Amino acid sequence: MSQANRLAADAPHQFGGAGLDRGKPLQFRLDGRAVMGFSGDTVLSALLASDISAIGTHTGVPMRLDEAFAPLVALRSDPTHALPLQRLPALDGLDLVTFGTAPRPQGLLSRLLRRDDDRSGSLGLLVENLSSPPWINAQPQARLDVDTLIVGGGLAGLAAAAAAKGRTLLVERRSWLGGDARFYGTTGDEEPPEASIARLSASPAAEILLHTEVFALSGTTARAHQVLLENGRPIGRIIEISARTVVLATGTFERLPVFAGNRLPGVTGAIAAFHRAERFGVWLGKRALFSTGSGFGYRLALLAREAGVAVQRVSDTRLGPNSRFIDFCKASGVPFTSGLVPRSASVAKDLSGLSVDFLVGIEGIAQDAGTTETDQLVVGGARQPELMLWLAAGGATRWAGDHLAATGPLPGIVLAGAAAGYRRAVACIASGRAAISGNAAPIDDPMIEAIYETPDGKPPVAPPVDGAPAFLDRGAALLRRPADPTSLLPGIAIGLGAVAAAVEIGAIPPAIAGQIAAERALTGGMITDTGWKLSPPPPSQQLPGYLTGRFGAKPQTCVVTSADARFFERGCLIFARSELTDPQQAVGSIIAAAPGGGIGGLALIEREASAGKTRLFVRDAGGAVPIERIRPV
Amino acid sequence: MTFDFAIFGSSPLALLLSACLAGVHGRSVCRVGQPWSAWPLPRRFDVAYMVATRPASWAQLRQATTETTKVINSLGKGLVEKLDPLLIAETHASVEALAHLRASAAGTGYTLEQAADRSLASPAQAWRLRDIAALMRGKAEPALVTWGERAGVQRVAHDSVTLRRDGSARIRSATIEADATTCILCDDAAIAEWLDESGRERLLRPVAAQTIVTEPARPLAAPLVRYIDRGVILGQPGKGGGVTAIVDGADQPMARFGACLAPQGPLHRAADLVHTRFETLDGAPLVATARGPKVQLLAGFGDTAVFFAPLLARHFAGVSTSDEAAFVAAHDVGRGNARQAVADFMAEGL
C-alpha cells in the first residue's frame, strides 16, 4: 500500500519527519493487509501515512483512527498479548492482528468482499467490539524503586529530571521527548524549544523510558505499561514503580471542539496534526482547512503550507483577533476569516474527503457561513491540563473558566508545567525545577498583551445537527452530545475533556465540574468476584432491639400451639380477635420456632393478653388460627 | 430580607421539602446546596421501602408515599414509578428481621413474594416487594427544582452562608443579603459539611459509603437488589444498563460489590464516589435539633427520605396532624423521649 499521506522527505520545518529514517523502508501486515513505512514510524503513523485513517464504524458512523483512539493489536504468533498501536514501533516483517476482534478471513471471497473497506482507508472494525487494555488489571511483571518518578517528558518533566537527585526515572508514552513544546514554538526571545529539549535532555540524571504510559497512581506508587523490544520482537510489560516523590508533568491535551461529525476520519486536532507531520512526515490529504481559536493554528497552517499542503483557509472562532501569526498569514497570502465555527463535518458526496459547514459564531447569531470541501479539517481545541493521574491519586480539580484545574495538595505528588497550569516554556521549565527543589516561590508566566496577541478563544459549541452525532471527547468513551443536557450519563467512565465539554453545553454547572471529574474520570479498574464471603455473626439469644416496647413494657415469652398442630413461622402476628389484620393492633408475634422443634412457635405477647382468658389468634398465610395453648417460658 | 427557612442539601428530600414549604405552606425559603445536574452519582436510591420491622413505620411510610407520589406526579408524567425490589437476608439475624418486616409490611397492604435464588445458601432468603414507588432519577429532580423556583425558592451557594449558634443563618452573596430564621440540614452531605462531630446528635454515626457504577451489564434479578448483610444495594434503572451500587462500610467495599456481581463476570468500573452517610445507632429516622448550632436535623430516613418531605414540611410549618406530630415526636431525641419505641433493625458489622 503506497504512502499517499507522506510529506516530502525534505519538507521544511522537519515536516518530512524528524523521527524517521527514510533510508530504511519497512513493511508489516495488519489483519493481513500490507502496510509500508519507515524506520522510526509507529504502527499508527505508518497506517495514517498509508491513508488508513478510519478505525471502522460506531453505530454506523465512521470513526477516525488517531492517537487517542486506536485498536489494540497483537502479534499473529501471540494473539493473546495486546499491544497499543500508538506506542508500538513499526518493524519490518511484523505480522499483526487486531486484538480481541475476530481475525479477518484470508480467503479470496472474503478479501474481495472487504475490498471497499481496504480502499476506503478503514480498518473495518466495529468500534463496539474493541477491547480495553488488559494490562490495567494485570499484575506487574517488574518492580522499580526510585527516589523520583517523573511522568511526562515535556519541558517541565525534562527540567525536573535534570534537577533531580538520587535515582530518578522519567517515563514518556511517546517515542520522543519535548512534549508539545515544538508545536507552540518560541515566544519573544525565549530559547527555541529544540534547544531547550536538547539542553535539558543532555543532563544524565534520570533514566528515561519511552513508549511507556503510566496508567495508575495510588499514593506514590505508579503502574506503567511499557512497549519494548525483546530479541527484536515487541512485547509489553507492566512495571510497578514506587517513588518517594512523583512529579506529574503530564502536560495538556487538546480538547475536541463540539460539532457534528467531530470524530470523522479527516478531522484532526491541531497538535496531533503537527506531531504527525513533524515526527513522521504524515499529513492527511493534499488540501487542509483550519479552524482555530488561538494563534498556534495559524502557525501550523503556515508551516503546513511551506511543507506543500494546500491551505484552503484558516477560520478563527474569535472575532477580529490579533496575532503575529495572522500578520505572517497576511504576508504569505494564506486566506483567513474570523468569527466562524465549524457547524458540522460530513463525508463529501464523492467520498473523496470532507464537507465542512461553517457558522457565524457570534453570540446570538447563528447564520450559515458556507460549505467547504477539504481532505483534512484541522481543528484547534482548548487546552485541558492532563490530570487523570492526579485524580486517580485522590487529587481534586475545580472549574477555572474554560478548563479543569488542579486544586489542593497531595502528599508526595507535585504537578509541574502545563499540567500545573503554566503556559510559557520558561514557566514550565521553572516549575519542573521547582517541583524538585520544593521552592514554592511564584513562577512568572507572563502572557503577551491582548492588543498584540488576542487571548485564546472559548471553545465554540455548535448547535446540534439532526442525525449527525457530536462527541464530547476523544478516546474510547464515545460519549455523544446528549439531545437533552439533563439526561443521565450512561455507565461509562469519561475523560476530563468530556467533563469540560459538558460544562460548555450546559449539562454540568461549573460549580460541580470538579466533583463530576472526581467521580467519572477514572483510569480503569474492574469489578470482579474475589471470593469474598460473608462472615455471619453467631445467632444471638437476646431479644432483638426492634421488638423492644412493641408489645408493652413487660411482654411475656410463651410457647403457643394450635389445634391442627401446625408450625408457625417467625414474624406471624398474634391478635386478640380473628378479624383483625392491622399489624398495629397485634398483641404479639412469633419470634422463633418452638423449643425442641415442637409444633406451634415461641411467641412474644403482651403480658395482659397472654395472661387473660380471651382466645388469641395467630395470623399466618392460611388466615387467623386460634391458639390452643399458651405456655409461658 | 428574611427567609423563614434555609434548607441545606441537594438531595431530592431537600428539593421537595423546599418546594413544599414554599409552594404549599407559603413560606419564604432558600436552599443552600449544589445546582441540580443529572451527572453526579447518587448517594442513595429514592425508593419507598425500608428494612424496618415496626408496623407503625410501614403504616406511616405507606401514607407518606401515597401523598408524595400524588404531589410529584402532579408535576409531570412518569416522575414516580413502581418497581419490585428484591431483599436478600443471609444471616440468622437478618432472616429473622425480614420475617417481622414481612408481617408488618404485608399487614399494611404491601405484597411480598419469596424469590428463588440458587446462589444463596441456608439460612439465606430472598423476598420481592411488589409495586414500590421509586423516584425516577433525572426526571423528577428538575421538576422539583422548577416547582421550587416557581414557588420562590432561591438557591444560594454554600460559601455565602454563615450558620449562627441559635440555628439561624446569615446569607451574604453578590445578589442576596438576608437572614434565615430556621435552618434544616436535610442530607448527609449537608450534615457532614455544616456540623462537626461535637455538634452532631450522639445517636448519629457516620458510615463510609461508596457509590460505584459499572459499564453496561446483563440484567439483574430485579431493578433494585438489596443485600442486607453485605451492605450492598444494586440498582439497574434500564435492563442491560450499567449497575449502580451503593456500598456501606469501609471494609472491602469492592470485594463485597464484586461478590454480588459474581454471575456477571468482570465488569469495568465507570464511576466511583466515596462519601459519608449518617445512620442512627438504633436504626430509626431522626428528626431533632442539633447539639451544636441549634439547626434542625433530618437523618436516618434511608432511601425513603424524599417520601417523607410533605409530612416534614407540615411539621416545620406547624400544621401537622396529631398522628404526624406523634410520629415526629417519637423520632426526636428530646428529654424523656423513649427512642426504644421506634428502634429498628440494624445489620451487624457495617
Q: Are residues A124 and A214 in the same domain?
A: no
Q: Is B243 touching A (CB cutoff 8 A)?
A: yes
CB contact set of B206 (below 8 Å; sequence gap of 6+): B192, B276, B277, B278
Judged by a CB distance cut-off of 8 A, whether residue A525 touches chain B is: yes
Range of the domain at A288: 256-381+450-467
Cβ-based contacts of B90 with chain A (< 8 Å): 534, 536
Cβ(B45)–Cβ(B246) below 8 Å: yes
* Mean pLDDT value across residues A597-623: 89
A571 touches chain B (CB under 8 A): yes
- CB B13 within 8 Å of CB B186: yes
Q: Which pLDDT belongs to residue B135? A: 97
Whole-angstrom distance, CA of residue B296 vs CA of residue B168: 10
> Is the per-residue pLDDT at A405 higher than 90?
yes
Is the pLDDT at A112 greater than 70? The verdict is: no
What's the rounded Cα separation, in Å, for the pair A206 and A148?
Answer: 9
Residues of chain B positioned with their CB less than 8 A from the CB of A536: 90-92, 229
pLDDT, average across residues A382-409: 96
Q: Are residues A49 and A197 in the same domain?
A: no
Instruction: Indicate the pLDDT class of residue A106, thresholds 50, 70 and 90.
Output: low
| Whole-angstrom distance, CA of residue A487 vs CA of residue A483 | 8
User: Cβ(A155)–Cβ(A86) under 8 Å?
Assistant: no
Q: How confident is the model at residue B18 (pLDDT cuts 50, 70, 90)?
A: very high
Pair (A45, A160) in one structural domain: no
Q: Is residue A514 part of a domain?
A: no
pLDDT at residue B52, rounded to an integer: 95
- Find which of A124-138, B255-269, B333-347 is predicted with most confidence, using mean pLDDT: B255-269
Min Cα separation A516/chain B (Å)? 6
Interchain CB distance below 8 Å, A519 and B93:
no
Residue B7 has pLDDT above 60, yes or no: yes
What is the reported pLDDT for A101? 67
- Closest residue of chain A to B243, computed from CA coordinates: A491
Rounded alpha-carbon distances, angstroms, from residue A165 to A155, A246, A620, B89, B134: 18, 13, 78, 57, 59
- Residue, of A26 and A611, whose pLDDT is higher: A26
Chain A residue with CA closest to B54: the answer is A546
One-letter amino acid at A338 equals: S
Kindly tell me if the per-residue pLDDT of A406 is higher than 90: yes
Cell of A350: 464523492
- Decide if A530 and B216 are in contact by the 8 Å CB cutoff: no
Average pLDDT rounded to a whole number, residues A34-51: 97
Query: Looking at beta carbons, which residues of chain B come within 8 Å of A540?
Result: 93
In B115-268, alpha helices (H): 140-150, 188-194, 253-260
Distance separating alpha carbons of residues A127 and A136, to the nearest angstrom: 20
Best mutation target, B10, B15, B37, to test chain A (most A CBs within 10 A): B37
Please check the confidence at residue A505 and state whether its pLDDT lies above 60.
yes
B206 touches chain A (CB under 8 A): no
Neighboring chain B residues of A520 at a CB cutoff of 8 Å: 39, 270-271
**A197-221 residues labelled b (16+ CB within 10 A) or e (exposed):** beebbeeebbebbbbbbbbbbeebb
The residues that bridge with A601 in the sheet, in sequence order, are A560
The shortest C-alpha distance from B286 to chain A (Å) reads: 16
Of B128, B50, B96, nearest to A571 by C-alpha is: B96
Cell numbers standing for residue B238: 434500564
Number of CB atoms found within 10 A of residue B150's CB:
11
Last residue of some domain: A107, A131, A155? Answer: A131
Give start and end residues of each alpha helix (H) in A307-367: 324-332
Point out which residues pair with A450 in neighbouring strands: none
Phi, psi of B114 (to 5 degrees): -75, 140
Mean pLDDT lowest for which of A149-163, A262-276, B263-277?
B263-277
Residues facing A11 on adjacent strands: none
Give residue-wise pLDDT tens across range B151-198: 999 999 988 899 999 999 999 988 889 999 999 999 999 999 999 988
Report residue A109's pLDDT band, with 50, 70 and 90 as the boundaries.
low
pLDDT reported for residue B249: 93
Q: Which candidate in A546, A590, A617 is best for mutational testing of the B interface (most B CBs within 10 A)? A: A546
**Mean pLDDT computed over B224-248:** 92
More confident residue, A286 or B201: A286
pLDDT-derived band at A363 (thresholds 50, 70, 90) equals low
Residue matched to cell numbers 446528635: B201
A window 104-133, beta carbon within 8 A of B:
132
User: A 207-236 residues with CB below 8 A of B?
Assistant: none
Over residues A512-535, the pLDDT tens digits come to: 999 999 998 887 778 999 999 998
A584: contact with B, CB 8 A cutoff: yes
For residue B135, give the C-alpha cell. 423516584
The whole-angstrom separation of Cα B135 and Cα B124 is 29
Mean pLDDT of chain A, nearest integer: 91
CA distance linking residue A621 with residue A625, whole number of Å? 10
Mode of pairing for the β-strands spanning B2-8 and B132-135: unpaired
Band the pLDDT of A453: cuts 50, 70, 90. Answer: confident
Which helix (DSSP H) or strand (DSSP E) does residue A287 occupy?
strand A287-292
Q: Which of A265, A244, A254 is nearest to A292 (CA)?
A: A254
**Nearest CB to B53 within list A546, A592, A619:** A546
**Contact residues, chain B, for A589 at CB < 8 Å:** 100, 103
- A119-123, A629-633, B144-148 — which one is most confidently predicted on average? B144-148
A286 and A323 in a single domain? The answer is: yes
Asked if B210 is an interface residue toward chain A (Cβ–Cβ < 8 A), one would say: no
Which region among A219-233, A355-369, A540-554, B22-36 has the lowest average model confidence (pLDDT)?
A355-369
- Residues A279 and A366 grouped into a single domain: yes
Chain A's closest residue to B272, CA to CA, is A519
Reduced to 3 states (helix: H, G, I; strand: E, B; else coil), residue B60 is helix
Using a CB-CB distance cutoff of 8 angstroms, which residues of chain A are in contact with residue B121? Answer: none
Condensed to tens digits (0 to 9), the pLDDT of residues A196-243 reads 999 999 866 799 999 999 999 999 999 999 999 999 999 999 999 999
Is A413:A393 a contact under the CB 8 Å cutoff?
yes
Domain assignment present for A114? yes
Contact across the interface for B271 and A533, Cβ inside 8 Å = no
CA A152, A156, A159, A161: dihedral to nearest 10 degrees? -30
Instruction: Tell me how far apart the alpha carbons of residues A222 and A243 are, in angstroms, rounded to a whole number.
Output: 8
Q: How far apart are CA A405 and CA A403, in angstroms?
A: 6
Radius of gyration of chain A (CA): 33
Q: What is the predicted pLDDT for the residue at A493?
A: 84
- In this prediction, residue A503 carries a pLDDT of 94
Considering the domain architecture, whether residues A366 and A264 belong to the same structural domain is answered as yes
Q: Is A506 on the interface with B (CB under 8 A)?
A: no
More confident residue, A120 or B63: B63
Are A182 and A295 found together in one domain? no
Residues A219 and A169 in one domain: yes
Q: Measured between beta carbons, which residues in chain A are less than 8 angstroms from residue B34?
A: 509, 511-512, 515
**pLDDT tens, A555-592?**
999 999 998 889 999 999 999 999 999 999 999 999 99
Q: Pick the residue with more confidence: A101 or B273?
A: B273
- Report B:269-308 residues touching A (Cβ under 8 A): 269-273, 282-283
Question: Which of B55, B252, B273 comes nearest A532 by C-beta?
Answer: B252
Confidence check: pLDDT of A100 > 80: no
The answer to whether A60 faces chain B, any CB pair under 8 Å, is no
Task: Evaluate the omega torsion of the peptide bond into residue B123 and state whether it is cis, within 30 degrees of 0.
Answer: yes
Look at B266 and A507 and tell me if their CB atoms are within 8 Å: no
User: Hey, is A213 helix, strand or coil?
Assistant: strand
In a domain, A504, yes or no: no
The verdict on A550 touching B (C-beta cutoff 8 Å) is yes
pLDDT of residue A116: 52
CATH code, domain carrying A575: 2.40.30
Residue B305 in this model has a pLDDT that exceeds 80 = yes
**Chain A: nearest CA to B332, how far in angstroms?**
17
Nearest chain A residue to B92, by CA:
A539
Please give the Cα distance from A330 to A62 (Å, whole number): 36
User: What's chain B's average pLDDT?
Assistant: 93
What does the pLDDT average to over A403-407? 97
User: If phi over 0 gives left and psi between -120 and 50 gives alpha, with beta otherwise, what is residue A569?
Assistant: beta
Last residue of a domain, one of A82, A107, A131: A131
Average pLDDT of the residues in A306-325? 93
Q: Does B213 touch chain A (CB under 8 A)?
A: yes
Query: In the predicted model, what is the mean pLDDT of residues A459-481?
Result: 90
Report the gap between the CA of B166 and the closest CA in chain A (Å). 29
In-domain check, residue A90: yes
The partner residue sitting opposite A549, judged by closest CB among B243, B338, B345, is B338
Residue A624 contacts B, CB cutoff 8 Å: no
Does residue B319 carry a pLDDT above 60? yes
Q: Do B268 and A509 touch (CB under 8 A)?
A: no
Question: What mean pLDDT is predicted for residues A109-113?
Answer: 56
Evaluate whether A368 touches A359 at the Cβ level (below 8 Å): yes
Whether residue A526 and residue B217 make contact (CB cut-off 8 A), yes or no, is: no
Q: Is residue A45 part of a domain?
A: yes
In chain B, the percentage of residues whose pLDDT exceeds 70 is: 99
Is A543 in the B-facing interface, judged by CB distances under 8 Å? no
- Which residue is closest to B51 within chain A, CA to CA? A546
**At A291, which CATH number?**
3.50.50.60
Among A292, A281, A343, smallest CA distance to A314 is for: A292
Task: Answer yes or no: do A534 and B230 touch at CB < 8 A.
Answer: yes
**A314 and A348, same domain (yes or no):** yes
Domain count, chain A: 4
SS3 of residue A409 by DSSP: coil
Q: Let me know if residue A395 belongs to a domain.
A: no
Residue B261 to residues A30, B95, B258, Cα–Cα distance (Å): 37, 21, 5
Q: Across residues A503-515, what is the average pLDDT?
A: 93
Cα separation, A468 vs A450, in Å, equals 37
Domain B1-82+136-203+281-350, architecture per CATH = 3-Layer(bba) Sandwich (3.50)
